Chains A and B, each alone.
Chain A
Amino acid sequence: MTGVQRMNKIISDIRETARQLLADGKVDVVIGYAKGSLPLKATPCFVHSAQEVDSLIWDETCENNLAAFVAKTPGKKAIVAKGCDSRALVVLLQENQLVRDDLYIIGVSCHGVIDQRKIGAEVGEILEASISDGKISVKGMEGDKEYLFAEVKDATCQTCRYPNPVIEDLHLGELIQVSQDVAAFADVSAMENKSESERQAYFKEQMSKCIRCYACRNACPLCYCQECFVDCNSPRWLTGGVDRAENLLFQAGRVLHLAGRCVDCGACSRACPQGVDIRALNRKMTKDVYEMYNHESGISEEGKPALNVYSANDPEEQFLVKE
């Protein structure tokens, strides 16, 4: 089978599964992806009846983390989940945000999603695009170009160690072999090795781009607080103005809330309209949790998020005041 045939097989299997589930009344809604109104951007799609299942698709443009919608969708639901979506589902289950019996997970192995920003930076606004067999032809405002998928794969997906869903009720398509058996944090280490003033300057620059639209928060499957600290009036953590210091306060607060829970799906970075390097902060926390507490979030249903548990021997030398 060629790559195109394999993809089409997965799409028809997703549709058939959704049709069956809805027709049998096993679920009220199937959460999946549909073709979006913009090129190279699939949109989340909620299918309520067996007649609508043909709008479901699956390809390298399915960049949203659908776990973000699961807790907000009432009733029994089926969800099309790639590796990172399933990890987010595991964390949500650990935190009692979901009922496992109300959830039917259609697992799909994922080769990664496209980083549109990288393409947009070269060809301008993307007008038209088509994907076939690992090649992406793009027609942009400032020119046309053809890419290999590997060239424009999202940064998150390049270091992904869990392309296959970690929990699922049904698996469609083939499993993907994973090459890395230990987590790699070359990007974080490179940043750590820079001097304090370089790091300060880097994050100053990044935070001055942020417009605090909170798209990162909304795209995140694990930001589910009823009232986010940024919306809170009493106490008022943020003044409401947009300046880089306050943007950093927001991002640091957000990242600390996600420490030990973030599944590194990259949905926040992809949702950012300003291209802020949000992932740098999340990755730092992921690395620390991995190294200090030997914990990776959302990889098994047993266990709890790293900050919900403790050990008497947790390291403390590096943060205690020196006397």
Chain B
Amino acid sequence: MIMEEIQVEAENKKYDPKIAAFLCNWCSYAGADLAGVGRIQYPPTIRTIRVPCSGRINPLYILKAMANGADGVLVSGCHPGDCHYISGNYVARRKFALIKSLLTYVGLEEDRVNFSWVSAAEGGRFAEVVKGVSERVGALGPNKGVFKVDDGGATDE
């Protein structure tokens, strides 16, 4: 009886993706904080990594997150024009456009890697962005391994 219940529960349980969220210290991280302080509900799918600026994002961070099994990546910084360091997110914007384009080109599902601008005042919007990203990554299912290394090294062919 109990076993059956557990099984049913497991089947009904929605798949929760794991998403690495790189948030800039000055805007998006504070936006996430505001969402928390305001008790705005959003799915517990993101694992936050605070970075000094979206300009600090190394493309390898995103690739490595995918390789280590994250189901998705969210990168968020200040809106263009609002960067604490004046031009960090402008420089990042060119980089992000190329990263997204290349990853789509090599066959990574388009919704796995996401970029957004969220300001420190947009707590509600931050929750919406996370909701949207979680839904889309959730719909794709677990990381299918374009970059994922399963067994820590040896050949998989």
Binding site for B on A (CB under 8 A): 191-192, 196-197, 199-204, 208, 229, 235, 237, 239-246, 248-249, 252-253, 255-256, 259-260, 281, 284-285, 288-289, 292-293, 306-308, 310-312, 314-316, 318-323
Within 8 A of A (CB), among B114-157: 114-117, 125, 128-129, 132-133, 145-150, 152-157
B90 to A321, Cβ gap below 8 A?
no
The answer to whether A288 and B149 touch (CB under 8 A), given A243-B157, A249-B67, is: no
Contacts of A235 in B (CB 8 A): 64
Main secondary structure of the interface of A (DSSP, over half): helix
A262–chain B nearest beta-carbon distance, Å: 12
A321 to B115, Cβ gap below 8 A?
yes
B148 to A314, Cβ gap below 8 A?
no
B115 to A256, Cβ gap below 8 A?
no
The answer to whether A281 and B129 touch (CB under 8 A), given A292-B97, A320-B117, is: no
Contacts of B152 in A (CB 8 A): 239, 241
Contacts of A245 in B (CB 8 A): 67, 145-150, 156
Q: Does B38 contact A (CB under 8 A)?
A: no
User: Of all chain A residues, which has the CB nearest B74?
Assistant: A321
A253 to B94, Cβ gap below 8 A?
no
Complex partner residue of B105 from A204, A259, A284, A308, CB under 8 angstroms: A284
A307 to B95, Cβ gap below 8 A?
yes
B81–chain A nearest beta-carbon distance, Å: 7
The answer to whether A319 and B147 touch (CB under 8 A), given A249-B67, A310-B93, is: no
Contacts of A240 in B (CB 8 A): 153
B99 to A244, Cβ gap below 8 A?
no
Give the residue among B87, B103, B106, B156 with the most A Cβ atoms within 10 A. Answer: B106
A107–chain B nearest beta-carbon distance, Å: 31
Q: Does B34 contact A (CB under 8 A)?
A: no
B94 to A310, Cβ gap below 8 A?
yes
User: Of all chain B residues, which has the CB nearest A253?
Assistant: B60
Within 8 A of A (CB), among B68-104: 74, 80-81, 87, 90-91, 93-104
Question: In the bound complex, how far is the Cα of B77 from the Cα of A198, in angstroms?
Answer: 33
Q: Does B59 contact A (CB under 8 A)?
A: yes
- Known pairs A245-B148, A315-B97, A318-B100; list 11 more (Cβ under 8 Å): A200-B108, A237-B64, A241-B154, A246-B67, A249-B64, A253-B63, A284-B101, A284-B105, A307-B94, A310-B93, A321-B132
Interface pairs A-B: 7 shortest CB-CB: A241-B153, A200-B107, A310-B90, A319-B100, A256-B59, A321-B114, A199-B107
Q: Does B109 contact A (CB under 8 A)?
A: yes
A319 to B107, Cβ gap below 8 A?
no
User: Of all chain B residues, which has the CB nearest A323?
Assistant: B132
Contacts of A202 in B (CB 8 A): 107
User: Of all chain B residues, which has the CB nearest A257?
Assistant: B59
Contacts of B95 in A (CB 8 A): 256, 259, 307
Contacts of B115 in A (CB 8 A): 319-321
Question: In the bound complex, how far is the Cα of B55 from the Cα of A248, in angstroms?
Answer: 24
A263–chain B nearest beta-carbon distance, Å: 17
The answer to whether A310 and B91 touch (CB under 8 A), given A245-B156, A284-B102, is: yes
Contacts of A308 in B (CB 8 A): 91
A246 to B149, Cβ gap below 8 A?
yes
B97 to A319, Cβ gap below 8 A?
yes
A126–chain B nearest beta-carbon distance, Å: 29
A235–chain B nearest beta-carbon distance, Å: 8
Question: In the bound complex, how far is the Cα of B17 from the Cα of A83, in angstroms?
Answer: 49
Contacts of A255 in B (CB 8 A): 102
A243 to B156, Cβ gap below 8 A?
yes
The answer to whether A259 and B98 touch (CB under 8 A), given A241-B152, A316-B80, is: yes
A192 to B105, Cβ gap below 8 A?
yes
B80 to A312, Cβ gap below 8 A?
yes
5 contacting pairs across A/B (C-beta < 8 A): A196-B107, A203-B106, A239-B153, A310-B94, A321-B133
